[in-house]
Structure 1
Amino acid sequence: MPHVSLPGGQPGIIGLLAAFRASERPLNDLANAVMHGPSTLTAAERELIAAFVSRGNECEFCCNSHAAAARHLYGPRAALVDAVLADPAAADLDDEMRALLAIAAKVRRDGRLVTADDVRRARDAGADDRAIHDTVLIAAMFSMFNRYVDGLATVAPADPAVYDEIGARIATKGYGSQFRTPAPGGTP
């Protein structure tokens, strides 16, 4: 049971943003800028990093939602998402993504763990400044989102179809008001 009242039992961050509208726009704007704005990482790679970080933080709602988004974005390569979440060391990743996930894993625990050697490995594998920056920001941002969702004990649906629907919306529409129900009186 959530620690705060959420409209209509909406799950995860969707319920929190619907209940606390003052934080909705800035958080969605941040997510859209980082996850769907200009980057040298694809949207699929960014969603994979988000799911990977959320798995490490044991945030069921965020991991499942962003894994579903990554699957939609990867299309025929969707199985890669589950492989990374099961065992990133054995997943069929290129060296650049492997190095970026290693950085994300460190940021998830403590940003100060990222070393010059970690960054050098990513650069040697082809990552540019933007990819390294975006990886660190995604890992930090999703660690915050994970703590927000779990710290308020939000609902994490058991039905995989719910996450598939959320993932499809993220993949096609980004982050925003399409997730929330109208406020009392019918205005979103």
Structure 2
Amino acid sequence: MSKPISRFPVPEIAALPEDIRTRILTVQEKSGFVPNVFLVLARRPDEFRAFFAYHDALMGKPGNLTKAEREMIVVATSNANQCQYCVIAHGAILRIRAKNPQIADQVAVNYRKADITPRQRAMLDFAMKVALEAHTVGDTDIAALSDHGFSEEDVWDIAAIAAFFAMSNRLANVSNMRPNDEFYLLGRVEQQA
């Protein structure tokens, strides 16, 4: 018996506005399935567009943070926010981007013991502070990142990713968003042609 992917109604893909339907079908073609977040958020087209525009601006941009490091931020902070969907989904993306089948589990469970660099640990220390106690962020936190080679723009990116996914985590938890089964094996086992 298939479990629902959300506690809220999920629209049919065919009934969605063309731009949203096209985006979802493009993702499906590329990955072989439709991540449930697309279906759950599609119930409100304007918010879907805004959400994914900001997501893409943060996660796909060039910069000093690698795509894998951006995913590390999502996995660590989503675990702290107890967001099953984001830990599972972005854990899969992290495994793929890092080309490491173990990294996502390590980062999710306890990034301080994960096989990551001191620079990445400092990045995640700051991201966790933003996710859990942003009101305490001060100049010493910024200086600590600077000591690891992070620029002012990098600091903004780390903070923005942690903040954006804090919002995403809350929506996923409130909607009871279910991770796709496909995410569990991505980046762990070699894909069959």
**Contact 2:142–2:155 (CA under 8 A) maintained in structure 1:** yes
**Contact 1:11–1:154 (CA under 8 A) maintained in structure 2:** no
Which residue among 9, 12, 18 is the counterpart of 2:42? 18
Name the count of aligned residue pairs: 163
1:146-157 alignment, distance < 5 Å: 146-157=169-180
The corresponding residue for 1:89 is: 112
Shift of 1:11: 6.4
Distance in 1, Cα, partners of 2:7 & 2:105: 31
Which residue among 146, 149, 165 is the counterpart of 1:123? 146
SS in 1 for 2:113: coil
Distance in 1, Cα, partners of 2:122 & 2:78: 18
Q: Which amino acid aligns with 2:69?
A: E
C-alpha RMSD over aligned residues: 2.2
For the pair 1:80 / 2:103, whether they are aligned, the reply is yes
5+ residue gaps, structure 2, are: 13-33, 188-193
**Contact 2:127–2:158 (CA under 8 A) maintained in structure 1:** yes
SS in 2 for 1:19: coil
Identity %: 29
The corresponding residue for 1:4 is: 8
Shift of 1:147: 0.5
For the pair 1:52 / 2:56, whether they are aligned, the reply is no
Distance in 2, Cα, partners of 1:85 & 1:154: 18
TM-score (norm 2): 0.76
Q: Which amino acid aligns with 1:48?
A: M
Q: Which amino acid aligns with 2:51?
A: L
Distance in 2, Cα, partners of 1:40 & 1:164: 29
Moved more, 77-86 or 61-70: 77-86
TM-score (norm 1): 0.77
Which of the pair has the greater relative contact order for Cα pairs under 8 Å at 6+ separation? 1
Distance in 2, Cα, partners of 1:60 & 1:72: 18
Taking a change above 3 Å as real, the CA distance of residues 70 and 162 of structure 1, as seen in their structure-2 partners, is: closer
Distance in 2, Cα, partners of 1:45 & 1:78: 15
1:139-178 alignment, distance < 5 Å: 139-157=162-180, 159=181, 161-164=182-185
Q: Which amino acid aligns with 1:141?
A: F
Off by >6 Å, runs of 4+ in structure 1 = none
- Cα-to-partner distance string for 1:120-155 (whole Å, 9 max, x where unaligned): 111111111122111000000000001111112223
Q: Which amino acid aligns with 1:4?
A: F
Moved more, 31-40 or 139-148: 31-40
Shift of 1:12: 4.7
